[in-house]
Amino acid sequence: MPKMLIKSGRIIDPSTGADGIGDILIEDGQIAEIGDSLNYNVDNVIDAKGLVVAPGLIDLHVHLREPGFTHKEDIKSGCEAAAAGGVTTVVAMPNTSPAIDSKEVICLVKNIAKTAKVKVLPVAAITQGLNGNVITDFEALKEAGAIAFSDDGYPVSTAKIMSDAMKKADFLGMPILAHCEDLTITDGGIMNEGEFATILGVKGVPTASENVGTAREIAIAMSTGTAVHICHVSTAQSVEMIKDAKKKGVRITAETCPHYFALDDSSLLKGDADYRMSPPLRSQADRIAIIAGIMDGTIDAIATDHAPHSVEEKSDFKNAPNGTIGLETSLSAGITVLVNGGYISLIKLIELMSTKPAKILGIDGGTLKIGNPADIVIFSEDEKWRVDVKKLHGKSENSVFKGIELKGKVKYTICDGKLVYRDED
């Protein structure tokens, strides 16, 4: 494997607290040395002067759509988008067709991913066919290579089934990634319940739908002593419940997404289904609460919930499927809104998008320590770019950041010591 030398970059590593100028030598796919003025005969030298060098991003929540929905995205295209966004590991959700609920489908995903640009970690379904009723064979799925369990896109139907699942996963040392929603409260709503839904004359989704789901999972974790990870937090009350649970010693972690800290439900006044997702964009007060939860550590990670759909599917505002893409904009959105907004530091952002996700999953990654895999993102913190969906690397265009100028641009992505993306602009 070729040797590589990254020269004169600002090296940021939340796992060690490092933040300073230096060089990194990559050999045999690993970080071999970090220092000043390193001088080796290598195959590739990257001049990172004026750029930030950080651990590759780990996206906890990605829908790659393969198998079954490859007109929206596939493993190859999704990983190309990930590489362009500085993401070196994607956690692939199981709502495919067939669902990732058997070792055969796990093996299929892993085999396809062997030629992808970045690492793909498949999440197995909690219940067979994502039907919420019958628990899958957790032991067999773990043995086949599942990294976690989730029915994301659908809530597990009963507290009894979720409790059993959390106990099984905890015994195996595996995370449960919980989609918190009460479908009887959602009741066919398509956007946040409030003044903008009223203006548009469409049915809204009360915040109670998410809050009731969050409360249930917290209660189970508290009662059983098991761990749970809460996906895509979007409401102020969910943030408060998670914060309180952590104070009480509940083994709980949580993620949110860039669209929840960057936008609110006023964006839907455009009547554009690209701004529809589940859970929906919430109120400005909820958005502020999400940022506060990021700042005080209640929210542990930032993931994208990358959910591609075709232009045709998104053309009908009222009937379109939920979801927005985000692999190529997540880092920039974090820099633009959170870092430049003065809410958190750049090293904190990298921790939320790389170091903490690695800890939640229990994997090697999120670090630039010597001997670890050379998964690295190199980016300009200051470069501005306007999101042109026609130039993105995935198959779909349903981005909430389309046409928006963001700050922070990925220049290089390295995965296992291989250069998998270089910004040609």
- The residues annotated with a catalytic role in the active site are 305
What is each CA distance from 385 to 303, 336, 380, 402, 404, in whole angstroms?
Answer: 21, 11, 11, 11, 8
CA atoms of 226 and 79, how far apart (whole Å): 32
CB 373, CB 394: distance < 8 Å = no
Upstream peptide bond of 14 is cis (omega within 30 degrees of 0): no
What type of residue is 131?
Answer: N
Q: Which of 150, 143, 147 is nearest to 166 (CA)?
A: 150
Distance CA 108, CA 302 (A): 28
Those residues with Cβ within 8 angstroms of residue 328's Cβ, 6 or more apart along the chain or in another chain: 81, 84, 85, 392, 393, 394
**CA gap 283, 296 in Å, rounded:** 20
Closest CA relative to residue 337, chosen from 259, 254, 246: 259
Tokens of 45: 């030298």
Name beta bridge partners: 119: 89
Q: How far apart are CA 360 and CA 253, in angstroms?
A: 8
Do 326 and 305 form a contact (C-beta atoms < 8 A)?
Answer: yes
Distance separating alpha carbons of residues 264 and 254, to the nearest angstrom: 20
**Residue 321, by phi and psi: left (phi above 0), alpha (psi -120 to 50) or beta?**
beta
Is residue 58 a contact partner of residue 365, using CB atoms and an 8 Å limit?
A: yes
Distance CA 256, CA 268 (A): 19
The closest of 88, 28, 9, 30 to 368, measured between CA atoms, is 30
Q: Answer positive or negative: Cα dihedral of 377, 383, 386, 391.
A: negative
Token pair 């998964």 is found at 375
Q: DSSP for 251-300?
A: EEEEEE-HHHHH--GGGGGG--GGG--SSPP--HHHHHHHHHHHHTTSS-
Terminal C-alpha separation, the chain? 27
- Whole-angstrom Cα distance, residue 324 to residue 308? 6
